[in-house]
Amino acid sequence: MGAAEIAAARPYPPREAGDDPLQLARQRMAATGQWHPLQSMGRRWAIGCVALEITQRCNLDCTLCYLSDHSEAVKDIPLAEVLSRVDAIAAQYGPGTEVQVTGGDPTLRARDELVAIVRYVAEAGLYPNLFTNGIKATRDLLRDLARVGLRDVAFHIDTTQNRKGFADENALNALRAEYIARARGLGLRILFNTTVHDGNLAEIPDVARFMVAQAADVSLASFQLQAATGRGVAGGSEGLVNSTNVARQIQRGAGARISFDTPFAGHGDCNRHALTLVSRGRVVDLYDDKPVMAAIMAHTAEMKFERMPAWRAAAAIGWRLLTRPAFARAMLPWGLRKLAALRGRPHRLAFFIHDFMDAGALDRCRIEACVFMVQTADGPISMCLHNAKRDDFILQPLALPGQAGMWNPLTGQASTETRVTNPAITAKTAKGRVRVTHVRKASWKEQS
């Protein structure tokens, strides 16, 4: 996609009343050559997830941050606007849609508003998960959020964050263990996000090994690949950070062969997904048989296993096997092989590899097949596209119901301005590349 095309790109319009979200998703997969028996989009769900950014502020300054140079200068969008975006997500994609409550870091939002937002997402019949760097995600806060319907907490921890006292990914496993202890026993699924970059690719086996050891508590380990987008100082990878190498590193750490090319989540160049059972440290690959997986996807498309307790998922499949002999015939040999491979009580552990695109190299077909959206005031748009033109959305004055004038993102007040110019960046709001320049200038001034 060229600069003009990116600049002209708009969010998806609201779907027509009679349109079926799952059918619309299937049409997008077919139009981009991604529809096949192992495609989850348009079969299991109408969209992978939708990010609901409730603040642009963050208490970290990661070297691969996707936020923009102006994000820190922007006020949190009003609660009414956040809730109307939740309504729009429910209307567009239907009940059960996964909503990432994120930012910046959502825990910087006023606590009562964060709780109100999660409650509203849950009451809208959607599936709320909290994406946070965990610094302010205390057990007390997680308990309150779980009480109002939070389902997952996804902790983002890795060496792009330059956390003091943690020299590498192995050292960060201690922090990961601390965060697990904070969330354990609250009825939340625990997920971890790790950005993979040139500097920690060699350490990914340490992360995977940790996740396998913690499989009783951890449901998903997700790896986001280095991308030149946003304000981060690191820029794009020198080439080694790609889905194949990351999958290899995960298998090295897990000590097992794991299939990353069976079910698809959207475009094959965007996402890789794996599902395993871990029993006494032994990792059993569940996606190693494509025909069996195609049969499971065909016969259980509407079942959200990953959200069910293991016993209910087993019961649901068991009933389906009993009532569909053809399915049972396809499954039984595979099922017996998996059972025989277990060494005790199994725990489900999923791995996900998400290959974000550089802002300057957006592939139109991948954007059209995108399964990860950001909800804007004007509708959902692909996350890669949103990151490439984030200021167009965050610096946009908003018309708020019952309010005269427009909500101004820089003042947080009503004003007559329908456009705001790029705010001056101050030492207080400087992050990423701009902060580095500021610091350099300041030290240069001191020296001169």
Binding site for ligand SF4 (CB under 6 A): 266-267, 270-271, 354-357, 366-367, 370-372, 382-384
Q: Among residues 210 and 351, whose Cβ is nearest to ligand SF4?
A: 351
Q: How far is the CB of 51 from ligand SF4 (least distance, A)?
A: 9
Q: Distance between CA 40 and CA 25 in Å, rounded? A: 10
Report helix, strand or coil for 418: coil
The amino acid present at 142, given as its one-letter code, is L
Given the complex with ligand SF4, which of 277 and 353 has the nearer CB atom? 353
For the bound state, the minimum distance from the C-beta of residue 385 to ligand SF4, rounded and expressed in Å, comes to 7
Residues facing 373 on adjacent strands: 50, 382
Q: Closest approach of Cβ 14 to ligand SF4, in Å?
A: 20
Nearest distance from residue 308's CB to ligand SF4, in Å? 25
Q: Measured between alpha carbons, how far is 31 from 301 in angstroms, rounded to an integer?
A: 21
| Residue whose CB is less far from ligand SF4, 137 or 374 | 374
Find the largest Cα–Cα distance for the chain. 82
Q: What is the nearest approach in angstroms of ligand SF4 to the Cβ of residue 43?
A: 16
Which residue number, 358 or 391, has a Cβ lying nearer to ligand SF4?
358
Task: Tell the smallest beta-carbon distance from residue 71 to ligand SF4 (Å).
Answer: 18
Closest contact distance (angstroms) between CB of 435 and ligand SF4 is: 26
Nearest CB to ligand SF4, comparing residues 267 and 435: 267
Cα(38)–Cα(19) distance, integer angstroms: 23
Of 266 and 397, CB closest to ligand SF4: 266
Instruction: Pick the closest to residue 298 from 266, 329, 327, 332 (CA basis).
Output: 327
Question: What's the helix, strand, coil split of the chain in %, to 5?
Answer: 40, 15, 45
Nearest 5°: phi and psi at 199?
-80, -20
Distance CA 252, CA 248 (A): 6
Backbone φ, ψ for residue 268 (5° rounding): -60, -25
**128 and 99 in contact (C-beta within 8 Å)?**
yes
Two structure tokens written together for 19: 């349109």
Closer residue to ligand SF4 (CB): 193 or 271: 271
* Sign of the torsion formed by the C-alpha atoms of 196, 256, 280 and 349: positive
